[in-house]
Structure 1
Amino acid sequence: MLVRLLYASRAASPLTAPVVDAILAQSRDHNPKLGITGMLCYSDDLFLQVLEGGRDEVCELFNTIVRDDRHTKVRILSFEEIPERRFGAWTMGHVNIARVNPSLLLKYAERPVLDPFACSGRASMALLDELIATASVIGRC
């Protein structure tokens, strides 16, 4: 059974390029073995990530993320059974929200910044869909 989990978290320390690169490298190394695909968006101290795969694998990975010292305030925004993957092309695609047109963010939120804590899971998922449609996702692997 396939599931999709969307969560948000805050970075425990400043998000530098090496920190993000380490998270992405770890994801791209481990996720294929687990059958997990997804996408990571980040900005300032925020993460917004979607994970897709088998229910047990996604839940175990999420539990690992919750215990990861790099994340704080981890919150589930959406969890659902799915008939097919939306993010099957990425072991872990990523988007640096600082490089996205602010008007796109404003379309889904009160202000033109990434803040998944201040909007619905549905709006956050719609933002991710639009990022895919506008070819903003990096790291097709």
Structure 2
Amino acid sequence: MLVQLTYASRTAGILGAIDVKDILTASKRNNALVGVTGALCLSNGIFLQQLEGDKTEVNALYHRLLRDERHRDPAILDFSEITQRRFGSWSMGLLSTLEENRQLFQKYSVTRDFDPYAMSIPSLRAFFSEVVDNVRWLG
């Protein structure tokens, strides 16, 4: 069964550019091995990630993330069965609040600062639908 899981977590500390690059590199390598695709957003000290793939693999990946000391306050925001992948051509993309992406983060935020914990499921889905084609992705 093909599923999509969206979760948020707060960074456990300050992440530098090298830390973020390491996360992206490891995610691309590990996800490709198990057929998981997705996108990782980092804004305001919050990770927002959408994963897609086989239910068992996505579940196992999320449970590994729960043990990762760089994450705190993890929360599943959306989980659903899907018919096709949104991020089928990449094992992981990274979106950060670069100046050109800032308006998109604000468009879906209910607060002044981007806070996915406060977003509705329809807003989360619309956010990822829009970012896949309309933002500058890193990596």
Q: TM-score, normalised by structure 1?
A: 0.91
Other structure's SS at 1:75 match: strand
Q: Report 1:35-50 matches (<5 A).
A: 35-50=35-50
Q: Report how many residues are paired.
A: 139
Q: Give the direction of change, closer, same or farther, for the CA distance of 1:71–1:28 in structure 2 (3 Å limit).
A: same
CA RMSD of aligned residues (A): 1.5
CA distance in 1 between counterparts of 2:26 and 2:93 reads 13
What's the counterpart of residue 26 of structure 2?
26
Question: How far has the Cα of 1:92 moved from its partner?
Answer: 0.3
What's the counterpart of residue 128 of structure 2?
128
Other structure's SS at 1:47 match: strand
Structure 1 residues without counterparts, runs of 5 or longer: none
Question: How far has the Cα of 1:112 moved from its partner?
Answer: 4.7
CA distance in 2 between counterparts of 1:20 and 1:105 reads 19
CA distance in 2 between counterparts of 1:107 and 1:44 reads 15
CA contact (8 A) 1:105 1:111 kept: no
What's the counterpart of residue 5 of structure 2?
5
What's the counterpart of residue 82 of structure 2?
82
CA contact (8 A) 2:44 2:113 kept: no
Other structure's SS at 1:20 match: helix
Describe the superposition over 1:34-91 as per-residue Cα deviations: whole angstroms up to 9, x where unpaired. 0000000001311000100100000000000011101000100101111110111211
Q: Which runs of 4+ in 1 moved over 6 A?
A: none
Q: TM-score, normalised by structure 2?
A: 0.92
Q: Report 1:62-77 matches (<5 A).
A: 62-77=62-77
Identity %: 42
